[in-house]
Homo-oligomer: A and B are copies of this chain.
Amino acid sequence: MAYRETEKMRKRKAQARQRILDCTLECVAEGGFRHAKVTRIASMAGVATGSIYRHFESREELFAEVFRLATQKEVDKVAEALGTKGDAVVRLERSLRQFAERALRGPMIAWSLIAEPVDTKVERERLRYRRAYAGLFEGAIREGMAEGTIPEQNARQSSTCLVGAIAESLVGPLSPAKLDDTSGNDPETDQQLVNSIIRFCMQGLTGTRR
C-alpha cells in the first residue's frame, strides 16, 4: 500500500545533506560563521530553507557538524605528520609546521576554527578540537621523554602551551582585518613566521637552542 524509505531515497537525502555541509563550509570559508546565513546556505545548496531543518536540528547544530568535519581534516594531517619517521623532536617539528602552514594557506577557515567568536555549541567543538591537537602533541612529547630526546616535563601542560603559542601567533596574521587588505600574503614572510614560532616551541619543549 504504502511508502517505505528505499535505498534510492536514502542516498538522495544523504547527498542533499552533504551538499548542505559543503555549502556551509564554503560560506564559512568566505566570511566566517557569523556571515553564514541559513537562507544563503539553502539557496547555494539548491534546497528550501526549511529543508535544512530536515537534516539538522538547528543552525548551531549544522555549524557544529561543519566545524567537526573541517577540524577532523586538520587534526588528521597533524596526526599524519606525527606518524612519520624520526625521533619525537623532528616529528613534532614537522607537525607544528603542518599545522601552521595549512592555517596560513586557508586563512579564513583557519581563523574561523581558531579564533572567530562563535556560539556555544561550536565553541564546545572548538575546545574539543584544541584538546585533540593537544592530545596528539602530548603523546609525542611522552615518546620524546621515553626515548630521551625531550626532558622530563608535564606533557599535558606543554602540549597546551604549544597549541596556544601557535594559535596566538596565527591570530594576528589571520584576522579578517588583515585578510582583506590587498597586500597579499608574502610566502616568504609566512615562512619566517612559521620558523620563529617553531623555534620558540621547540625550545620551550627541549630547553635547547639550535
Contacts and interface: CB of A to CB of B under 8 A. Distances in A.
Contact of A168 (B130, B172, B197): B130
A196 interface: yes
Contact of A203 (B118, B166, B172, B207): B207
A23 interface: no
A142 B123 CA distance: 36
Given A117-B118, A167-B168, A168-B167, A161 B197 contact: yes
Contact of A209 (B123, B161, B207): B207
A154 interface: yes
A157 to B, nearest CB: 4
Given A127-B175, A151-B209, A160 B168 contact: yes
Interface string A161-202: 111111111011001000000000000000001001101110
Interface residues of A, number: 39
A165 B175 contact: no
Nearest to A116: B117
B175 A164 contact: no
Contacts of A131: 172
Contact of A196 (B117, B130, B153, B162): B153
21 contacts: A117-B119, A117-B123, A130-B168, A130-B171, A153-B199, A157-B196, A157-B197, A157-B200, A158-B200, A160-B165, A160-B169, A161-B165, A163-B168, A164-B165, A164-B167, A164-B171, A200-B204, A203-B203, A203-B204, A203-B205, A207-B208
